[in-house]
């Protein structure tokens, strides 16, 4: 019987993206995935401390060794909770989709092996198209072939990091929400109270091995 395992990135910026992606997906899928609310509640305070320390240490105008040390200490206190969530709630959870598992760096041991694909080098060219109420359709192409609405070879899906409402984000770090789309023109739903608000989004490719491409530029649209 094959068993799943996971890997958490080792660089600070990738760790930040990974933990935000993990918590966002687990919160959205908690009911379907059977994740107890207490597990997610326990993450809230250490996550807030870590994210605050990460942002402070990432500010080029105020970087110093003490801020870097504070970020590392906050991560050291936070990561055991992420490990616990992954080990006991996420890996080998049949309710979680293959796309979500790819995005969370979950791998299968004992299955048929495939040659690893390199991380994507190009970026998605994305439009958010309104066609019906409370829906935007994610239409994408690749920066290497912008007239063709398809993913590059070995890419599993396009990941959006986004923020609903103004002000516009200064970077991906300011986008707390995530959405995956595996086909161009798939619908992206929004809550009724979000209608009329701006959505600001960055996009990147994620390949079949969970390797991440670079983020593209910000795209802005309005929820119809």
pLDDT digits 0-9 by tens, 18-51: 899 899 899 989 999 999 999 999 999 999 999 9
Is the residue at 163 inside a domain? Answer: yes
Predicted confidence at residue 128, as pLDDT, reads: 96
Task: With cut-offs at 50, 70 and 90, classify the pLDDT of residue 151.
Answer: confident
Q: Which domain holds residue 158?
A: 124-222
Predicted confidence at residue 160, as pLDDT, reads: 92
In tens, the pLDDT along 127-145 reads 999 988 889 999 999 999 8
Q: Are residues 166 and 197 in the same domain?
A: yes
Is the residue at 65 inside a domain? Answer: yes
Domain boundary at 54, 83, 109, which? 109
In tens, the pLDDT along 78-122 reads 999 999 999 899 988 989 988 788 878 887 754 444 456 788 999
Among 220, 167, 160, 164, which residue's Cα sits nearest to residue 193? Answer: 164
Among 210, 48, 26, which residue's Cα sits nearest to residue 118? Answer: 210
- Report the interhelical angle of 65-85 vs 12-28 (nearest 10°): 40
Predicted confidence at residue 109, as pLDDT, reads: 59
In tens, the pLDDT along 67-79 reads 999 999 999 999 9
Predicted confidence at residue 162, as pLDDT, reads: 94
In tens, the pLDDT along 167-192 reads 999 999 999 888 888 888 888 888 88
Q: Are residues 103 and 147 in the same domain?
A: no
What's the per-residue H, E or C state across the chain?
CCEEEECCCCCHHHHHHHHHHHHHHHHHCHHHHCCCHHHHHHHHHHHHHHHHHHHHHHCCCCCCHHHHHHHHHHHHHHHHHHHHHHHHHHCCCCCCCHHHHHHCCEEEECCCCCCCCCCCCCCEEEEEEEEECCEEEEEEEECCECCCCCCCCCEEEEEEEEEECCCCCCCHHHCCEEEEECCCCEEEECCHHHCCCEEEEEEEEEECCCCECCCCCCEEEECC
Pairing of strands 135-142, 124-132: antiparallel
Task: With cut-offs at 50, 70 and 90, classify the pLDDT of residue 63.
Answer: confident
Is the residue at 118 inside a domain? Answer: no
Q: Are residues 85 and 13 in the same domain?
A: yes
Q: Are residues 190 and 130 in the same domain?
A: yes
Is the residue at 53 inside a domain? Answer: yes
Average pLDDT over residues 5-18: 83
Domain boundary at 83, 109, 135, which? 109
**Chain position carrying tokens 């933990």:** 19
Domain total for the chain?
A: 2
Predicted confidence at residue 113, as pLDDT, reads: 40
């Amino acid at each position: 019987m094959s068993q799943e395992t996971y890997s958490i990135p080792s660089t600070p910026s990738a760790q930040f993206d990974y933990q935000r992606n993990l918590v966002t997906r687990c919160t959205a899928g908690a009911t379907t995935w059977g994740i107890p609310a207490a597990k997610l509640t326990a993450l809230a305070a250490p996550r807030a401390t870590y994210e605050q320390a990460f942002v402070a240490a990432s500010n080029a105008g105020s970087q110093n060794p003490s801020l870097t040390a504070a970020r590392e200490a906050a991560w050291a206190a936070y990561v055991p909770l992420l490990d616990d969530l992954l080990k006991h709630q996420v890996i080998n959870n049949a309710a979680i989709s293959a796309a979500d598992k790819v995005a969370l760096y979950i791998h299968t041991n004992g299955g048929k092996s495939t040659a690893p694909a390199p991380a994507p080098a190009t970026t998605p060219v994305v439009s958010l198209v309104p066609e019906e109420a409370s829906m935007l359709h994610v239409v994408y192409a690749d920066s290497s072939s912008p007239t063709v609405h398809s993913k590059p070879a070995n890419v599993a899906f396009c990941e959006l990091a986004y923020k609903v409402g103004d002000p516009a984000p200064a970077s991906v770090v300011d986008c707390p929400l995530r959405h995956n789309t595996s086909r161009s023109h798939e619908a992206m739903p929004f809550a009724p109270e979000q209608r009329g608000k701006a959505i600001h989004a960055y996009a990147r490719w994620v390949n079949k091995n969970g390797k991440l491409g670079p983020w593209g530029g910000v795209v802005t649209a309005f929820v119809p």
